[in-house]
Each structure stands twice: as structure tokens, then as C-alpha cells.
Amino acid sequence: MTDALTVVRSGPLSTVQDLGRAGVAHLGVPRAGALDEPALRAANRLVGNEPGAAAVETTLGGIAVRALRPLVVAVTGAPSPVRVDGRPAAWGAPVLVPAGAVLDVGPATAGVRAYLAAAGGIAVPPVLGSRSADLLSGLGPAPLADGDRLPVGPRPPLGPAPELVPLPAPPTELVLRLRLGPRADWFTPDAAARLARAPYRVAAASNRIALRTEGPPLDRAREEELPSEGMVLGAVQVPPDGLPVVFLADHPTTGGYPVVGVVPPADLAAAAQARPGTPVRFAVLPGRPAGGGRRE
């Protein structure tokens, strides 16, 4: 495998991501993987890759790379200006980048994270079955830096011309469905109602580990410490400040703060594209809280 891309401008945070590490949480290893899975799958489809091939995930500021051999690429996710050697190129469609040319993905005009896929996939060595960078545990490749070189696998066989892949626009209001539990009973009886009506916003401290919120804190009904227990993707943990935290792909596998509810994975792609300040509304799903009841 030979290097095919050189990073010219790495941007604020660019990492290699695929669909993550499944089945290793019992080892204390986070899932990692693309925060916006539909955008990653779309980029791969446009260049003929398998859906889970590794690509580059950028954050707000984009990235610029030089092709060391001719490559077919596609950029999806957060809408961004795309240029090849300074000339405008398509976003959300296959683009041929000649050897020696610079592909520049500019700052996102909306949303947060863009995905740059190359035909053949980013072929960094896999770790525990995934090529994803995990910012919490440090597994996988480090965040990209200027001058880094990336290998790209062999170009897949030519198939039918890819169709345009529709993707939702980045949210102007982030609506997250919430199934209460397993520790909803650690909060006052009006906590669920407050979650459903309170004006929360995405906090600037959000990252690949969690989407943090700003708004009215949730009041605890129980003040004792909770023994550390397993955490899942989409868990809404409430730390001592009372502000809900929605766990994303790099979340820890265990935690000691109570989880008031869980957001379905299908809602988390929008969370990956919600900029700081975006209004957040929790839509509490009907039904009894999931999981265990009170611990006496």
C-alpha cells in the first residue's frame, strides 16, 4: 500500500473514521467511528466504496490535501466549498483529483463535520477491527497534522454511475427523542417535563465524546453516589451541574453519573452537525422508564 494523499492544511480537527469498533465495550474500548454515519456512507457510495470504508472527518474548518496519484473523491456532511487547484468542484458528487493537485475543502457553511472519501478508502492500519481515531482512549491514528501522508486502497471496480445521495440539512433546531431510564428516578418528578419544555442549546464545549447542553439544570431527587455502570451510545448523563450530556461515538464505556434517558442512534447524526448555540429540544417518548428502578 502506497501513500496517496499528503495533508497540506489539517484544519481544526480532522480524523480518520469508519463505522467504529463494535463489540469491544466490555474491554473498556469506546466505539469511536463517524459521528454522522449517513454522511460517511453517502461519501463512500459516491466513490464506489463499501459503506464502512474509512474516510476523513473534518470539523468546521475543512482540510486541504494533495493527491500523490489520480484519485476519485467525494465530500459530504456539512456543506462546504470544494476546490481542486483553486477551481470550484462539486460537493456531494464524485470529483477526479489529478496527481499533484490540491483538493481544498473549505470551512463549513452550515453544520460541523464534513466527510472526505477517496475511492479505495483511507487504508491506515486497523486497530481492533477499525481504522477509526478514538480521541478518548487514543486508539487508532492520531488526529491529522500538516505533512501527514495517508494511504488509499486500490480503486474499486467501476460500477454504475453513482446517484446523488440525499442528506438532511444541518439542523436549525436539534430535536432528540428520549426514552427515559434507567436512572430517571434519581431526578425529581418534574424532571421529564422540564426536559420536554426547557430551552436548551448546544454548548461550545461539545466534542466527539459528547454533545453538551446549556439551559436549566435538572434537580436530583437522590444525592448519594451511583456506582459506575455501563454507558451506551446516546445515553443522556447528568453530571453534578445538572445539565444533560448526550454521549456520542467516543463516549466512555462506564460512568458514575445517573442517566436520565437514552437518545436513539438514528437521531445522533443530526447532533453531529449541530453548531454551538443551536436550540435543542428533547422529545420524551411515551412509556415507562427503561431499566432498573430504585436502588435501596
CB neighbours of 221 closer than 8 A, spacing ≥ 6?
Answer: 185, 186, 187, 188, 189
Q: What is the CATH number of domain 174-284?
A: 2.40.100.10
Q: What DSSP character marks residue 220?
A: B
11: left (phi over 0), alpha (psi -120 to 50) or beta: left
- 212-269 residue pLDDT tens: 999 999 999 998 888 999 999 999 999 999 999 999 999 999 999 999 999 999 999 9
> Which portions of the chain are predicted below pLDDT 50?
292-296
Amino acid residing at 97: V
Burial (CB count <10 Å: 0-12, 13-18, 19+), residue 187: buried
Give dist(CA 234, CA 211) in Å, integer.
10
What pLDDT is attached to residue 296? 29
pTM: 0.94
Q: Which amino acid is at 142?
A: A
- Strands in 63-67's sheet, in edge-to-edge order, are 87-89, 82-84, 102-105, 63-67, 3-9, 149-151
CATH 2.40.100.10 maps onto the chain at: 174-284
Distance of alpha carbon 149 from its chain centroid, rounded? Answer: 23
Cβ neighbours of residue 105 closer than 8 Å, sequence gap 6 or more: 58, 62, 63, 64, 75, 80, 81, 82, 114, 116
pLDDT at 209: 96
pLDDT in the model for residue 94 = 94
Instruction: Dump pLDDT digits (tens) for 12-25.
Output: 999 999 999 988 88
Q: What is the pLDDT of residue 3?
A: 84
Amino acid 162: pLDDT: 72
Q: How far apart, in whole angstroms, are the C-alpha atoms of residue 258 and residue 292?
A: 12
Residues 119, 156 contacting (CB under 8 angstroms): yes
* Number of neighbours of residue 233 by Cβ within 10 angstroms: 19
Question: What are the φ and ψ backbone dihedral angles of 175, each rounded to 5 degrees?
Answer: -105, 120
Residue 131 vs residues 51, 66, 140: alpha-carbon distances, Å: 14, 21, 6
